[in-house]
Structure 1
Amino acid sequence: MKKLINDPATVIHDALSGLAAAHPELRVDLDNRLVFRAEPARQGKVALLSGGGSGHEPLHSGFVGRGMLDVACAGEVFTSPVPDQILAATAAADTGAGVLHVVKNYTGDVMNFEMAAELAAAETGTEVVSVIVDDDVAVRDSTYTAGRRGVGGTVLVEKIAGAAAEQGRALADVAAVARAVNERTRSMGMALTSCTVPAAGKPTFELGAGEMEIGIGIHGEPGRHRAPLAPAKEVAAMLVEPILADRPVGKGGPVICFVNGMGGTPLLELYIVYGEVARILAAHGIEIVRSLVGPYITSLEMAGCSVTLTEVDDELLTLWDAPVRTPALRWGA
Structure 2
Amino acid sequence: MMPRGNPLHHPDVPPLTGVTIHAGSTSYEHFIIDQTILIESALQSRAITNPSASVDAKNRIVCLDETYHSQVSLISGCGTGHEPSFTGYVGRGMLAATVSGDVLSTPSQEQIEVALTKVNGKHGILAIIMNHQGDVANFKAAISKFKASGIKTELVVVGDDVGRGRIRTQEHGRSGIAGTVLVLKIAGAFAATGATLDEVTRIAKLTADHVLSVGSAISHVKIPNQSILDKQSDELLATGRFGSETRLGEHQLPGSHRLEVDLPGIVGTMLQELLDWADEDRSFSEISPGDKLVLLVNNLGGLSGLELGAITWEIAIQLENKYGIKPERVYSGTFMSTLNELGFSISLLKIYRTLNWAVP
Alpha-carbon distance change, 191 to 312 in structure 1, aligned in 2, over 3 angstroms: same
Does 1:218 pair with 2:257? no
Indicate the residue corresponding to 1:326 in structure 2. Answer: none
What is the CA-CA distance between 1:95 and the residue it aligns to?
A: 3.4
Indicate the residue corresponding to 1:55 in structure 2. Answer: 81
Choose which of 180, 184, 198 in structure 1 pairs with 2:210. Answer: 184
Alpha-carbon distance change, 120 to 142 in structure 1, aligned in 2, over 3 angstroms: farther
What is the CA-CA distance between 1:131 and the residue it aligns to?
A: 0.6
Indicate the residue corresponding to 1:99 in structure 2. Answer: 125
Whether the 8 Å contact between 1:197 and 1:203 is mirrored in structure 2 is no
Indicate the residue corresponding to 1:296 in structure 2. Answer: 335
What is the CA-CA distance between 1:204 and the residue it aligns to?
A: 5.3
Does 1:35 pair with 2:62? yes
What is the CA-CA distance between 1:220 and the residue it aligns to?
A: 2.4
Partner letter of residue 244 of structure 1? Answer: L
What is the CA-CA distance between 1:47 and the residue it aligns to?
A: 0.6
Q: Which blocks of at least 5 consecutive residues in structure 1 are unaligned?
A: 321-333
Indicate the residue corresponding to 1:67 in structure 2. Answer: 93
Does 1:16 pair with 2:47? no
1:203-237 deviation line (CA, Å, top 9, x unaligned): 75412322421111322211110121x32211211
Alpha-carbon distance change, 316 to 238 in structure 1, aligned in 2, over 3 angstroms: farther
Partner letter of residue 266 of structure 2? Answer: V
Structure with greater Cα Rg: 2
Does 1:263 pair with 2:301? yes
Alpha-carbon distance change, 189 to 168 in structure 1, aligned in 2, over 3 angstroms: same
Q: Return the alpha-carbon distance in structure 2 between the equivalents of residues 174 and 104 of structure 1.
A: 17
Indicate the residue corresponding to 1:327 in structure 2. Answer: none
Q: Return the alpha-carbon distance in structure 1 between the equivalents of residues 160 and 33 of structure 2.
A: 35
Indicate the residue corresponding to 2:16 in structure 1. Answer: none
Higher relative contact order (CA 8 A, sep 6+): 1
Deviates more, 1:285-294 or 1:244-253: 244-253
1:252-295 deviation line (CA, Å, top 9, x unaligned): 73100001000001121112121121112212122300111011
Does 1:126 pair with 2:151? yes
Q: Return the alpha-carbon distance in structure 2 between the equivalents of residues 282 and 303 of structure 1.
A: 26
Aligned residue pair count: 316
What is the CA-CA distance between 1:141 and the residue it aligns to?
A: 6.9
Q: Return the alpha-carbon distance in structure 2 between the equivalents of residues 165 and 96 of structure 1.
A: 13
Whether the 8 Å contact between 2:82 and 2:338 is mirrored in structure 1 is yes
Partner letter of residue 214 of structure 1? Answer: T
Alpha-carbon distance change, 215 to 308 in structure 1, aligned in 2, over 3 angstroms: same
Indicate the residue corresponding to 2:287 in structure 1. Answer: 249
Indicate the residue corresponding to 1:308 in structure 2. Answer: 347
Q: Which blocks of at least 5 consecutive residues in structure 2 are unaligned?
A: 1-26, 277-282
For 1:119-158, what aligned pairs fall within 5 Å after superposition? 119-122=145-148, 124-139=149-164, 140=166, 146-158=172-184
Q: Return the alpha-carbon distance in structure 1 between the equivalents of residues 219 and 344 of structure 2.
A: 11
RMSD: 2.0
* TM-score between the two structures when normalised by the length of structure 2: 0.83
Alpha-carbon distance change, 202 to 138 in structure 1, aligned in 2, over 3 angstroms: closer
Q: Return the alpha-carbon distance in structure 2 between the equivalents of residues 273 and 15 of structure 1.
A: 29
* TM-score between the two structures when normalised by the length of structure 1: 0.89
Q: Return the alpha-carbon distance in structure 1 between the equivalents of residues 98 and 356 of structure 2.
A: 24
What is the CA-CA distance between 1:170 and the residue it aligns to?
A: 0.5
What is the CA-CA distance between 1:112 and the residue it aligns to?
A: 0.2
Taking only the aligned residue pairs, the percentage that are identical comes to 33
Q: Secondary structure at the match of 1:194?
A: coil
Indicate the residue corresponding to 1:279 in structure 2. Answer: 317
Indicate the residue corresponding to 2:20 in structure 1. Answer: none
Choose which of 199, 221, 226 in structure 2 pairs with 1:200. Answer: 226
Choose which of 171, 184, 189 in structure 2 pairs with 1:163. Answer: 189
Alpha-carbon distance change, 199 to 120 in structure 1, aligned in 2, over 3 angstroms: farther
Whether the 8 Å contact between 1:149 and 1:217 is mirrored in structure 2 is no
Q: Return the alpha-carbon distance in structure 2 between the equivalents of residues 291 and 268 of structure 1.
A: 16
